[in-house]
Amino acid sequence: MKKLAILFLLCVVSTGYLYAQLETTQVEITDGLEGKAQLKSSIERNLSNFLIACNSAVMNGGKPNVKKELTSEAQKILSEMWKTSPMSCPVSKIEEICIQTSSGYQVRNVPVVMLEADDDSQEQELVFTFTPVGQIDDISISIDENKYKEIMDEHESVQDLYRRQVIVDFVENYRTSYNRKDLKYIESVFSDNALIITGKVIREKPKSDRALQSLGRERVVYQKRTKAEYIANLKKVFASNKYINVLFDEVEVIQHPKLTDIYGVTLKQQWNSDRYRDVGFVFLMIDFQDELNPLIQVRTWQPEKLEGRVLTRDEIFSLGDFDIVRSLIED
């Protein structure tokens, strides 16, 4: 009985220590804002207050109170994210650089724990976008930092670098929109004439009863969907799942060699929800004709494996598979 009492006491002490840690998260910008002391102070203060408010809300079972620190759009994003999963920051001090973007500033690699996610994917990192005066304007779940740097380093011009930054933001917001169950955002980033292809693995019935053929063979059957059909199906998925955790890995960005306002984005997607899980390759064709509002013209999904074998790069959809690109642009 004494051992149990001691164990309980340790648990209480540990929990108290965790809560103490949760209450005192502070942010320091180490680079990127030289000569902008007031802006630096605003970003540090607003992000620190945001994380402290999240930690306090987790401890008290409420919602974060951060009206001054966030724009109205960011407040909406936070509300949607919190509805699917409260989050906390597990560290007491964050030291990060600040990146200047075309519309403001950005701080990446902010660690959080998504409490509704599976145990093996609770630890994630957020990206915060700030207005020119340091107010939080956007929140998204980040891709791997090494992959981010790799994508940026592959730019071939200033315009290409800008577009790659937009694409990364685009992909991160696209991923986070599933977490937020933001159907309106997903609908807004697809062209009305978008081509959407989904693959489904089926097992063919064996032609004989021989033992070696008893399992049959797998093949992928592809289905073409309209934007309306895709959105209608997502609406049902969102309604039937409390939390959806979408992870993007192996992100690759390629500019079309001739149609330079067209980019292909290939990534491995891990889909985790209450009712369904899968891993597959997603290809997005993104059109930059309107630089401020890029649109998805093509989205495809393929299973990661076929008959136990991971699909090769040649088997995954890419820009070269779609002659339709030019007609889509002209439309």
Residue 37: CB atoms within 10 A of its CB come to: 9
Strand, coil or helix: what is 255?
strand
Q: Show the domains of the chain with their CATH numbers.
A: 22-142 (3.10.450), 179-330 (3.10.450.50)
Strand, coil or helix: what is 167?
helix
Which residue in the block uniquely carries the two structure tokens 């439309």? 331
pLDDT of the chain along its 331 residues, tens only?
334 333 333 333 334 434 444 567 899 999 999 999 999 999 999 999 999 999 999 998 899 999 899 999 999 999 999 998 999 999 999 999 999 887 789 999 999 999 988 777 889 999 999 999 999 999 999 988 888 999 999 888 888 888 898 889 988 999 899 988 999 999 999 999 999 998 766 665 555 554 444 444 666 778 899 999 999 999 999 999 888 888 888 899 999 888 888 999 999 998 888 778 889 999 999 998 888 788 999 999 999 988 778 988 888 999 988 874 444 444 4
Amino acid at the residue 5: A
